[in-house]
Chains A and B, each alone.
Chain A
Amino acid sequence: MEQLGKEEVKETSGSELRTVLRSLRRSRTATFGLIYVIALVIVAILAPIISPFDPYAQDLPNRLQPPSFPHILGLDEFGRDVLSRLIHGATISMQVGLEVVLLSLLIGVIVGAISGYYGGWADMVCMRVADIFLAFPSLVLAIGIMAVIGPSIFNVVLSLVVVSWPYYARVIRSQTITLKKMDFITAARAMGASGRRILRTHIIPNAIPPVIILATLGMGSAILAEAGLSFLGLGVNPPTPSWGIMVASGRDYILQAPHMVISSGLIITITVLAFNLLGDGLRDALDPRLRI
């Protein structure tokens, strides 16, 4: 009986994935987002192999050189190759984005599922705490935390998780509340399944799909937030190549070497845009009623 149920779920989720992919392909903008994100993941992983120069190697006599061959995007204020630094910066951005999204999702799933399934005082406490974090403008709270704990990649991830988990918790909670009223949960409970088992095998797997949209959009915001914190000198420590730091250092040479500011800012914009386009596409594919 249980075996049968499982197979059924697998089959529908398989065809669902195909439907989602087909729907994504139909939208040109979502396809662009998907291809760009896949390409960026590959660039981030293969950065040490594909980057044409060492991102830390300095060529001081030629510093601030405008784009030319072989330095396609020019050199920065220490004579480092801008393209190579952008490629290595992709690794940092993707790492921060993924870690922030996965950790926020983990906390959000635990808090949201418990809150939604058990209700009562557990729900009250969890949601009031979430409300307090949501009351802050998120980036302002992240800036405040970073100002105190000091810049590092780990701290950036920590501060961004602190400000973003409540969004995931709220979505998971409302999903859980909808799901727990459904017949198959009642059936599982009638068959004697424990609350923990119901949560783990029935509710959480079914509550995840809508969160995928949030996670995709969350990748874009986390990358944007990391760039912002690094721009203020509160994020990643130099000389680590971060896109935000590259915009900040380009600011000091904006007249002599505008290529530094333009290239690094453009890559942040296109990356965040790609995640937003993909997130929009997923929303249309997963829930046509929410079409924006």
Chain B
Amino acid sequence: MLEYIVKRLALVIPVFLGVSAIVFIIMLNTPGDPVLVRIGLDPNVSPEKIEAARRELGLDQPIYIQYFKFLARLVQGDLGNNIRTGRPVAQDIMEAFPRTLILAVTSILLAIVIGIPAGIISAKKQYSVFDNITSVGSLLAASMPNFWLALVLILFFSYWLKLTPISGYGTPIHLILPTIALGAALAGTVTRFTRSSMLEVIRQDFVRTAKAKGLKESIVTFKHALKNALIPIVTVIGLQFGSLLAGAFFVEAIFAYPGVGRLAVQAIQQKNYTVVQGAVLVVSISFVLINLLIDIIYAYIDPRVQYE
């Protein structure tokens, strides 16, 4: 067990290096000369001054040295400074990230509360009217652009029915529409996986045995079938966490919800590249860590999981 966890952790290191290298390479190509950003657009600036600024920013060194320096700063939690406000980017992100996590968690909860029961009923009544409607409905939810769903929700619930605030942050009411907009696609996916996973499990011998023993239907469904069907469902939620974080870029921007997604979208519009870089890195690394966590949790709950 311990060996598995150590090996799984070791696997994260090259991924972390690769992810940071890719982000570093992308950001090397940012339009605009960072030297000019530093010293301003003064046409009379002397070549010596430009050279000094280049040296100060470390741009006179080979690219791999620049990458290692970038990496060294990264490990210390230094993501550079926000070129607009001068504040450390890490501080901006630390403020915004917990809010994104709250939204992600409420969306996952919504997806579980809707998806798992709908998937179970669909599987138990395969090919019924309920199953057909749920199947198309769940695929429809997964096909909808979340930014469009967000706008339609605002139009109906905020403008026409005046039930929810149009945008903002602070009270649980502010979370309702963003949660639906972000969680709908995941709810569709969870429904589909619960259905297929349950269909597979309820045909297996141990479920038939449980039924043959005369156990109550609900006990067979929840204690025997669902427990075994849950593993692929948890995996899919872990994998979909990435889409959820990407979706947050859109949903947060639309609802003016001050998370990492909105921070990044605003930074893109202002060409504030250090913030974009920091947001992409932090979001990607948290996705890697979430999947690491899920893998380790598995090793505990499912003895069949073994590291090859």
Contact present for A144 and B140 (CB under 8 Å): no
Give Cα A141–Cα B154 distance, bound, in whole angstroms: 28
Contact present for B14 and A262 (CB under 8 Å): no
Instruction: Please give, as numbers and ranges, the residues of chain A lying within 8 Å of B149 by CB-CB distance.
Output: 265
Contact among A141, A147, A220, A262 for B268, CB-based, below 8 A: A147
Task: Find the residue from B14, B151, B155 having the highest chain A CB count within 10 A.
Answer: B151
- Asked if A231 is at the interface of the complex by the 8 Å CB criterion, the answer is yes
Q: Given A135-B287, A143-B264, A228-B145, is A265 in contact with B26 using a C-beta cutoff of 8 Å?
A: no
The interface stretch among A71-79, A100-108, A124-132, A171-179 is A124-132
Instruction: Please give, as numbers and ranges, the residues of chain A lying within 8 Å of B246 by CB-CB distance.
Output: 137-140, 143
Q: State how many angstroms separate the Cβ of A161 from the closest Cβ of chain B.
A: 14
Q: State how many angstroms separate the Cβ of B194 from the closest Cβ of chain A.
A: 11
Contact present for A149 and B29 (CB under 8 Å): yes
The interface stretch among B17-25, B206-214, B294-302 is B17-25
Contact present for B273 and A148 (CB under 8 Å): yes
- Asked if A110 is at the interface of the complex by the 8 Å CB criterion, the answer is no
Chain A residues within 8 Å of chain B by Cβ, number: 48
Q: State how many angstroms separate the Cβ of A234 from the closest Cβ of chain B.
A: 7
Interface residues in B248-300 by Cβ distance below 8 A to A read 249-250, 253-254, 264-265, 268-269, 273, 276-277, 280, 283-284, 287-288
Instruction: Please give, as numbers and ranges, the residues of chain B lying within 8 Å of A247 by CB-CB distance.
Output: 145, 147-148, 151
Instruction: Please give, as numbers and ranges, the residues of chain B lying within 8 Å of A137 by CB-CB distance.
Output: 241-243, 245-246, 283-284, 287
Contact present for B143 and A273 (CB under 8 Å): yes
Contact present for A268 and B148 (CB under 8 Å): yes
- Asked if B159 is at the interface of the complex by the 8 Å CB criterion, the answer is yes
- Asked if A254 is at the interface of the complex by the 8 Å CB criterion, the answer is yes
Instruction: Please give, as numbers and ranges, the residues of chain B lying within 8 Å of A195 by CB-CB distance.
Output: none
0/1 string, A264-288, CB within 8 A of B gives 1: 1100110011001100100000000
Instruction: Please give, as numbers and ranges, the residues of chain B lying within 8 Å of A254 by CB-CB distance.
Output: 151, 154-155, 159
Q: State how many angstroms separate the Cβ of B193 from the closest Cβ of chain A.
A: 8
- Asked if B106 is at the interface of the complex by the 8 Å CB criterion, the answer is no
The closest CB in chain B to the CB of A274 belongs to: B143
Contact present for B151 and A265 (CB under 8 Å): yes
Give Cα A273–Cα B139 distance, bound, in whole angstroms: 7
Contact present for A261 and B250 (CB under 8 Å): no
Instruction: Please give, as numbers and ranges, the residues of chain B lying within 8 Å of A133 by CB-CB distance.
Output: 22
Q: Which residues of A contact B (CB under 8 A)?
A: 29, 128-129, 131-133, 135-141, 143-145, 147-150, 220, 224, 227-228, 231-234, 244, 247, 250-251, 254-255, 258, 261-262, 264-265, 268-269, 272-273, 276-277, 280, 291-292
A-B contact list, 22 entries, CB within 8 Å: A129-B18, A132-B15, A132-B18, A136-B242, A137-B245, A137-B283, A140-B284, A141-B280, A143-B268, A143-B280, A147-B273, A147-B276, A149-B29, A150-B31, A224-B145, A232-B249, A232-B268, A244-B145, A251-B151, A254-B155, A273-B139, A292-B193
In the complex, besides A147-B276, A148-B31, 10 extra interface pairs with C-beta distance below 8 angstroms are: A138-B246, A144-B277, A148-B29, A220-B143, A231-B145, A233-B268, A250-B151, A254-B154, A265-B152, A269-B144
